Structure 1
Amino acid sequence: MIAKRTLAIIMVLIMLITLASCMSGDKEQETTPVQTNPHDNETTTPEETENPYKLNIPDVRYDGYVLNIANDALNTTKYVESSMLSDAVSGDVIKDAIYMRNLQLGELLGVTITETPANTGTVRNLLAAGEKEHDLITVTLDNIPMIISYAIDFNELESIDLDMPWWDQNARRELSIGGKLFYTYSDAVIYGLDNTRAVYFNQDMYSELMLEDAYTLVEEGRWTMDKMMEFSQLALRDDGDGLWTAKDTYGFVVRAVTLCEALLISAEIFPEQVGSDGMPYLFCYENQDKFIDVFLDLMKKFDTDAVDYRSDADCAAAFANGLSLYYMGVLKQGASLFRGTDLKYGILPEPKYSEDQDRYYCISPNGHALLIPYTNTDPERTGVVLEAMSYYSSSYYSDTALMPSYFTITLQGKTAIDSGSYRSLQIIHDSLAYELKYSGTQLILSLSSHFEAGKTEVASLLKSLENVSKKALDKFLTSINMK
């Protein structure tokens, strides 16, 4: 069996080398795009250094073990790739990275992975009935409240080392409840990153307007909302009819809910947060004066003709057609919608509220997280597999693993990768921020509606939702025995 597995890996490697050679030949025949960005001639990947992080799991094999995943992500099209499986090498960068990772897991541990498109409601009912079929579950942040009471605390698993960089450290901090981590993200899945909001900018327009280098602003911590609005105003152009319509050029096109969520996270005033005691609380009520002051300031910053609210599809189309300097959308856009077009774009993290903030906050509002149900008959075994899966998906294993491969397809073009955007993706990956929705989604949706309409009666809105929001949070905490 070992000889057969080894032969299989050798054959796959030969196929990959052949594929890479063909792709290299194709590249030599392509015309290299004109580079106007000062970062374009820089090396696109970090210098090679000795990797200080290694996989550390027991010397075990689980021959015959089938890791059964209830993967609700299969029920959506919002990701570049929803499946955690791949059948063979196909030339698709993401699918090939997944295939090679799972092949490595089989060689190392003797495990097989399967997945079913079971939705969260169905899985919850099965768990309530004592079902033990599923070892691992993927679930959106919106649906966490309905299933979290069936989850194992990741901190209790000795087979998982959450200190390792292939585990999302921001998720570990922000999603813990009273010191327990019932769900989280790792490099084993692209869901959290692929669902993240980023700022796309038109590089040609930047050059024409002679704006300060975007990547320098990011690196120096000076990429702020005020700077974004300053540049947006300079990009505003009427087509000559004296009316602001979809035919004009704007500084920033964005869906209102998308912007409101991102701004509240970036300004560190999201309605629901985790306190210093590790427990979730309603920030918008505990710190109501500050919340209202900053919320109104955000409305004022973006209340300009240079910003145009539209559906996400219309925003993406306007940006792709060169009618906006900035567009805020999920990273999937760069990996799918814009890739292969003539559009020269760059990628930036969401701007800071102010320069004195010590980091950027890049919101991932509803990506599928990983959860291990307490009906799992051997959670430590699942932990070993998940630890290895996360490592073999990370850049600490290979620059062709799942996560670095995702970076590659998200960037502009195939022959001249924009190194500034590569660095931005690293910053975004390390700056992910997640929405807490334990009290439901009514608060954020209502606030977003007020934001879009320019309504300033925030205090009365909060008052009208106070009782229902607090009761919902109390009910949630009671469901996990933390009230």
Structure 2
Amino acid sequence: MKKSARILSLTMALLLASTACGTAADPTVTDTTSTADTTTAEQLSGEYVNPNVDYGGQTIRAASYDWRGDFWRVADYNLFLTEENGDVLNDAAVKAKRRVEEELNVKLEMFELGAANKPDEIITAVMAGDDEFKFGMQMQIGMPKLLGDTSILVDLNSVPTLDLSHSWWDQNAVEAYSLYGKQYAAVGDICYYSKTSLISYFFNQQMIIDNNLDNPYDLVREGKWTLEKLDQMVRDVSRDLNGNTEYDTDDQYGFMGERASMAYTLIGCGQRFSDRDESGDIEIVINTPRTVDVIERFLKLINDPSCSLPVYKHEKNFDNVWVDLFLAKLKDNTALFFSNQLYVALNMRDMEADFGILPLPKYDETQKDYYTTTSSWWSDNLIIPATNNELEMTGHVIEALGFYAQQYVTPAFVNETVISKTIRDEDSVEMINILYDSVIYDMAMIFEWGGVVNLVNKLPLKDTGFASTYAAEESKILASLASTVKTLKGEQ
């Protein structure tokens, strides 16, 4: 088990013990996080050491987004909240921030970005030489633009007080963002949205029981949670509930997904879009027999109106298809699986039936591991602007915030996501560990060279297969990759 999983398991074990004394609505659950924090901090005392510095109350601004008010409840939270309100996750974020402020004698503030997921404000500030913020949390969708000019960001390897080998940094992301000797971005517990945007499968536990289906958790443990098993279970539960012999939203379905479900399924099946060759160069690796097979099989499933509700077929018929259709059907026991991001669980607190969380299905039983990825629109990445001339202090702040986010915020999120429900807690923690330890950061999914990922995600809308579609776009994809590599190498 990786270090991150061991830490999460320790913290979660303490939280689980607390559930005998209260529920998610019980204030005693909020109190239990302090016990978990103390014990975990003692376990990690050799890893994080208070630097014993005093920055005289200096204000440190971090460029980030304030999306409070969005229909997804995950947007109610960020690491720069200022007031406790009794909400477990809110108060955990406030506590982490205060610990950093007190320990280093600084004041942390958000430099709010108003350009949605775009990095324009960061680029403009750097080009103007403005030192308005010391670090930032940039959404993955905007990273290609930031990395399109290597003078915009600081190489994180040059920050003397930043150690990306610590357990509060995702080593898969550190490795992925290590580009030709430079490290311009990282992901870890400090990246609240990245920790919550892992692609997973939600399932309705009551429908599993009512239809006498295999226990999904046992399938995962036994390596039998595969694309074939998904197809079987989806078709087993689908019903024409209203008896009108038509496939409409009043019927019972096995699968609901989003536009990117095709790309996510490929990742789950162990098929990447890009990888590194022996010399460390990035190469496109999507054009394989496995890709063709996965796409053909998954297309048959999601394009079958008798068992699937894909978003592209229904979004125009609802003001908010996510809430009004997908979440509604999962909650009223008329949909078995919903593939989306982990944070969706925060919108399911009022669900009467139990729900469960699973990793993406494997290709087949011979595939050793489960894999997941994150949403480019919701996963944030740590960056430092080139205008920062106080790297030592910034490193101290980032490391402290990452550590205390690991101690307080991540456990609180998991607590609110799964332990607040009445499903078996040990199963939930095990699945979350699998998700956190199996994240793939595929550079092609970040840079989207020549539209290679969108090409795959649009296949459900077309009559053509993958092979011919890719062949028509391959030269553009490879040229786009080559241009990026030259930039990263400093050759243009």
TM-score range, shorter chain: 0.7 to 0.9
Q: RMSD of the TM alignment (CA)?
A: 3.0
Query: 329, 339, 353: which is aligned to 1:318?
Result: 329
1:232 aligns with 2:234: yes
2:397 to 363, 367, 385: 385
Aligned residue in 2 for 1:462: 470
Task: Measure the CA separation in 1 of the matches of 2:66 and 2:380.
Answer: 6
Q: CA deviation at 1:69?
A: 0.8
Q: Secondary structure at the match of 1:328?
A: strand
- The alpha carbon displacement at 1:416 in A equals 6.7
Count of aligned pairs: 437
The corresponding residue for 2:488 is 480
Query: Amino acid of the residue matched to residue 165 of structure 1?
Result: S
Task: Go from structure 1 to structure 2 and tell me whether the alpha carbon gap of 1:479 and 1:131 turns closer, same or farther (over 3 Å shift).
Answer: farther
Is the contact between residue 131 and residue 375 of structure 1 (CA under 8 Å) also seen in structure 2? Answer: yes
**Alpha carbons of 1:55 and 1:25: their partners in 2 closer, same or farther (altered >3 Å)?**
closer
1:51 aligns with 2:46: no
Candidates 368, 374, 388, aligned match of 2:386:
374
| CA positional deviation for 1:241 | 2.0
> Partner residue of 2:7?
none
- For residues 62-461 of structure 1, what are the structure 2 equivalents within 5 Å? 62-72=55-65, 74=67, 77=70, 79-118=74-113, 119=115, 120-148=119-147, 149=150, 150-239=152-241, 240-255=243-258, 257-284=259-286, 287-288=287-288, 291-300=291-300, 304=304, 305-310=306-311, 311=315, 313=322, 314-335=325-346, 337-366=347-376, 367-394=379-406, 397=407, 401-411=408-418, 413=420, 418-436=425-443, 437-440=446-449, 442-450=451-459, 452-453=460-461, 455-461=463-469
Q: What amino acid sits opposite 2:280 in the alignment?
A: G
Counterpart of 1:87 in structure 2: which amino acid?
Answer: T
Structure 1 runs of 4+ aligned residues shifted over 6 Å read 22-26
Q: TM-score, normalised by structure 2?
A: 0.81
Give the superposition deviation at 1:419: 3.2
**Would you say the 8 A contact 2:189–2:403 is kept in 1?**
yes
Letter in 1 for 2:64: N
Q: Tell me, what secondary structure is at the counterpart of 1:200?
A: strand
Contact 1:252 1:326 in 2 (8 A): yes
Q: Any unmatched runs of 5+ in structure 2?
A: 1-18, 29-35, 316-320
Evaluate the alpha carbon distance shift between residue 417 and residue 61 of structure 1 in structure 2; reply closer, same or farther with a 3 A threshold.
Answer: farther
Query: Cα–Cα, structure 1 residues 447 and 210, in superposed 2: closer, same or farther, change >3 Å?
Result: same
CA–CA separation in structure 1 for the residues paired with 2:297 and 2:141:
28
How far apart, in 1, do the equivalents of 2:257 and 2:374 lie? 16
Identity level (%): 24
Q: CA deviation at 1:57?
A: 5.1
Shift of 1:428: 1.2
**What letter corresponds to residue 217 of structure 1 in structure 2?**
L
**Counterpart amino acid of 1:292?**
V
Whether the aligned pair in 2 keeps the contact of 1:141 and 1:435 (CA below 8 Å) is: no
What secondary structure is seen at the aligned counterpart in 2 of 1:392? helix
Deviations 1:202-224 (A, max 9, x none): 11111112222211222233221
Q: 2 CA distance for matches of 1:355 and 1:294?
A: 14
The question of whether the paired residues in 1 share the 8 Å contact of 2:449 and 2:478 is answered with no
- Tell me the alpha carbon deviations over residues 429-477 of structure 1, each in whole angstroms, 9 at most, x when there is no partner: 2222234332447222222111x13634323322332233223223322
Structure 1 residue 315: deviation in Å?
2.3
Counterpart amino acid of residue 412 in structure 2: S
Instruction: Indicate conservation of the 8 Å contact 1:365/1:435, yes or no.
Output: no
Which has the higher mean CA deviation after the structures are superposed, 74-83 or 240-249?
Answer: 74-83
Moved more, 310-319 or 210-219: 310-319
Amino acid in structure 1 at the alignment position of 2:343: K
Q: Deviations over 1:388-422 (max 9, x none)?
A: 1111111xx4xxx1000000111264677643123
Q: How far apart, CA to CA, are the structure 1 residues paired with 2:341 and 2:24?
A: 32
When normalised by structure 1's length, the TM-score is 0.82
1:11 corresponding residue in structure 2: none
Task: Label 1:298 to 1:414 Cα distance change in 2 as closer, same or farther (>3 A).
Answer: closer
